[in-house]
């Protein structure tokens, strides 16, 4: 093989390597079956939760309509929700005042405390790619208990549910959105569940795509977004999940 041909082979190999690295960056889920440290199901915090349980996602609060939090709180009070799960992107990029650890936790607590009714509420928050980096926390207020963890495995009296934001699976929400929109299914969620090795009896709930849906056969779901109409969420009670409209 001549020098020119060797150079061409080297260039092709480098391009192939760069393409592979780009694919892995955009879809880190490819690594789940090979490296447990990348698998959200292996890292999840395991908790027991009470129903009714409300799952919301993707509020992107910097640009959300002002009455959305009021609608969430009204639903919580009216339906006596015991557990609130926020599947990431509560905020939309950390503004300057939440860059410091104390500041960003204060901002989070202020929002969640405002949502809290006059009875005890437990909130599980799985931060997304638009949220500040909080680390892992358990915070206790008068009527409010907050768990902050990137992956949370929830057991209710009737169901098992793994909740993640979804950027662990597909890096960008736009790519997640496009895949599900083009296929007309929760393809990313179903692929994620398979790659994570979740049992058939376990539900996987992800945000990130802003496309709401429930696949009862595959036991995967997405609550959609609270920064786009209709304002959708998932209610867990009586041994099932159902999509609801908060608009």
| pLDDT per residue as tens digits for the range 111-137 | 888 888 889 999 999 999 889 888 899
- Asked if 156 and 46 touch (Cβ cutoff 8 Å), the reply is no
The pLDDT score that the predictor gives to residue 96 is 47
Mean pLDDT on 87-110:
71
Instruction: Give yes or no for residue 174 having a pLDDT over 90.
Output: no
The pLDDT score that the predictor gives to residue 24 is 56
Cα Rg, the chain, nearest whole Å: 20
User: Which has more pLDDT, 142 or 206?
Assistant: 206
Minimum mean pLDDT range among 4-13, 20-29, 59-68: 20-29
Going by their DSSP bridges, the two strands 202-206 and 160-164 should be labelled as parallel
Report residue 156: phi and psi, to 5°.
-100, -175
Q: Hey, how many other C-beta atoms are within 10 angstroms of the C-beta on 152? A: 23
Starting at the edge strand found earlier in the chain, the sheet holding 240-245 runs 137-140, 144-148, 121-125, 83-86, 53-56, 232-237, 240-245
Mean pLDDT on 102-115:
82
CA distance 214 to 73: 23
The pLDDT score that the predictor gives to residue 13 is 62
The mean pLDDT value of the chain amounts to 85
Go through 169-181 and write b for each residue having 16 or more CB atoms within 10 A of its CB, e for each that does not: bbbebeebbebbe
- Asked if 87 and 205 touch (Cβ cutoff 8 Å), the reply is yes
Mean pLDDT on 164-168:
92
The pLDDT score that the predictor gives to residue 189 is 95
Tokens, residue 133: 């980096």
The pLDDT score that the predictor gives to residue 27 is 65
Tokens, residue 225: 């977004």
The pLDDT score that the predictor gives to residue 23 is 52
On the CB side of 69, CA atoms within 13 Å amount to 16
Mean pLDDT on 165-174:
87
CA dihedral 154, 156, 159, 165 (to 10 degrees): -30
Instruction: Give yes or no for residue 32 having a pLDDT over 80.
Output: no
Mean pLDDT on 191-197:
91
- Asked if 190 and 216 touch (Cβ cutoff 8 Å), the reply is no
CA distance 171 to 225: 17
> What percent of the chain stands above pLDDT 90?
54
């Amino acid at each position: 093989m001549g020098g020119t041909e060797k150079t061409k082979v080297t260039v092709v190999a480098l391009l192939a390597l760069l393409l592979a690295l780009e694919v892995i960056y955009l879809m880190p889920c490819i690594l789940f079956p090979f490296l447990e440290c990348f698998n959200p199901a292996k890292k999840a915090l395991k908790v027991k939760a009470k129903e009714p349980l409300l799952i919301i996602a993707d509020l992107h609060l910097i640009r959300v309509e002002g009455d959305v939090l009021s609608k969430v709180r009204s639903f919580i009070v009216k339906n006596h929700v015991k557990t609130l799960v926020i599947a990431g992107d509560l905020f939309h990029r950390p503004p300057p005042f939440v860059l410091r650890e104390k500041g960003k936790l204060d901002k989070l607590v202020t929002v969640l405390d405002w949502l809290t009714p006059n009875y005890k509420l437990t909130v599980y928050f799985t931060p997304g790619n638009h949220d500040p980096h909080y680390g892992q926390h358990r915070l206790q207020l008068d009527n409010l208990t907050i768990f902050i963890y990137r992956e949370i495995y929830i057991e209710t009296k009737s169901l098992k549910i793994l909740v993640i934001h979804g950027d662990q699976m597909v890096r960008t929400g736009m790519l997640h959105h496009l895949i599900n929109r083009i296929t007309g299914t929760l393809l990313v969620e179903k692929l994620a569940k398979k790659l994570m090795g979740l049992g058939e009896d376990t539900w996987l709930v992800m945000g990130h795509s802003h496309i709401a849906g429930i696949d009862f056969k595959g036991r995967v779901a997405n609550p959609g977004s609270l920064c786009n109409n209709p304002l959708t969420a998932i209610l867990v009670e009586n041994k099932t999940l159902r999509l609801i409209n908060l608009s």
